[in-house]
Amino acid sequence: MRLWVLLSLLLLLLQEALPHVIGQPVKSKRPKEPGENKIKPVNKKAKPKNPKMKERESVDSTLKSQSILTQVMDKGHFQKLAATLSLAAGQSIELRCKGSNVTWNYPSYLDTFKDSRLSIKQLDRYSQLILANSTAADTGEYSCWLQLCSGNKCRKDETKTGSTYIFFTDKEELFVPTPSYFEIVYLNPDKPAVIPCRVTTPSAKVTLHREFPAGEIETDGTDIIYDAKKGFVFQHPTSDHKGIVYCKAESQGAPQISIKYHLLYVEVPKGPPSTTVAVSSSRAGLSDRVRVVCTVLGEPDVDVNFRWQYPGQESERPVIIQNFWRLINRGIGHTTRISKSVLLVEDFEDTDVGNYVCIAQNLQGETTVATKVELK
């Protein structure tokens, strides 16, 4: 009996404890750790903080180098131009350059001969260049740029330019035609020299040849290179390169020969003109004829300008001034340009007594020399 009572009491105790063991779990009263039970992203990369700024910078750099030159195609379509373009001779071409104040550059002979095939018009938003009935001679660089003007002063906007080199191909004219049959090329030891046998077909094979002794001149791609847009370039000219040369081109047919080029070696120090002055007589009598000569020795392709100061100039005393130049051979293949200015007084008078000053000027500067003429 007692055992049964004890079992009953034990059963009651177990019934009170069972809900905490097999029933619903009791919620934990402990505080949660920071971040506990939060869903964390898996394998998700963080976005860069300033992607838009980088994209904007990229766009800005593109705009700075963006060409404003386009070609007008059929049916009003436009095409951006690459560095080079090949068209068959005889075709017409229309180019447009965006901007309200545009300047063009194109092969200079079109201006020299005032070719009516070339037309340029400035409209409100763009400038238009049209070249009709193109020829092989039209091969060359065509470029444009926007002018920025303030008052009477204008400058080139370097951020808004466009340029392309156009080959007008012609099977009968592999070389770009020139107005002469013979050209002089000066070989200067301190700058590259160019033999301008340019081609109309960029794929043409071009070689350089010496007339005497006859033979092909090797182009090694270093000292002598060929550029279809320029010709043969001598990077470091020497006196060994002097002589008469010509170019030969081949392109799916019989080879063609260019004009001849006379290579003259030059060795004159750069700088202001090397000038001397001489007079026919330092003492002249009345009614005598007095001749004052100003002479400059310089590079063959460098122009020299002369100015004179002489007695009686303010009173407009009549004198005769003549300027001329010629090339001279100094031996060993060296060529120099001799430029002269001659001042002539036909009928010497008292007012002609005094100093005769010659001022010679080139791109490097000017030199002043003088001599004095007295009365006998």
Query: Which single residue is written with the structure tokens 């071009």?
Result: 206
pLDDT tens digits, one per residue of 161-213 = 999 999 999 999 999 998 888 888 888 888 899 999 999 999 999 999 998 88
Any idea which residue has 């095409």 for tokens?
79
Q: Which residues contact 196 (CB under 8 A, 6 or more apart)?
A: 183, 185, 230, 231
Residue 239 tokens read as: 């006196």
101 Cβ partners below 8 Å, 6+ apart? 122, 146, 147, 148, 149, 154
Residues in the chain where the model's pLDDT stays below 70: 1-66, 113, 267-269, 329-334
pLDDT of residue 61: 43
8 CB neighbour count, 10 Å cutoff: 10
Percent of the chain with pLDDT over 70: 79
Is residue 203 exposed (0-12), middle (13-18) or buried (19+ Cβ within 10 Å)?
Answer: exposed
- pLDDT, residue 268, reads 62
**Joined tokens for residue 91:** 């075709």
Query: CA-CA distance, 127 to 102, in Å (whole number)?
Result: 6
What pLDDT, on a 0 to 100 scale, did the predictor assign at position 1? 52
Q: How far apart are CA 358 and CA 272, in angstroms?
A: 14
Nearest Cα neighbor of 112 from 178, 176, 173, 162 is 178
Report pLDDT for 14.
56
In whole angstroms, give the CA distance from residue 167 to residue 173.
12
Domains of the chain: 69-169 (2.60.40.10), 182-265 (2.60.40.10), 274-375 (2.60.40.10)
Other CB atoms within 10 Å distance of the CB of residue 68 = 20
Place of tokens 């001397």: 276
Residues in the chain: 376
In whole angstroms, give the CA distance from residue 173 to residue 134: 13
Beta bridge partners of 140: 166
Report yes or no: 361 and 295 within 8 Å, Cβ to Cβ.
no
Distance in angstroms (rounded) separating the CA atoms of residues 56 and 50: 10
Taking only the tens place, the pLDDT of each residue in 299-323 is: 777 899 999 999 989 888 899 999 9
- What pLDDT sits at residue 163? 93
Q: Which residues contact 204 (CB under 8 A, 6 or more apart)?
A: 174, 228, 249, 250, 251
Separation CA 185–CA 195 (nearest Å): 7
User: Looking at residue 113, what is its pLDDT?
Assistant: 67
pTM more than 0.85: no
- Give Cα 110 distance to the centre of its chain: 19
What pLDDT was estimated at residue 126?
A: 93
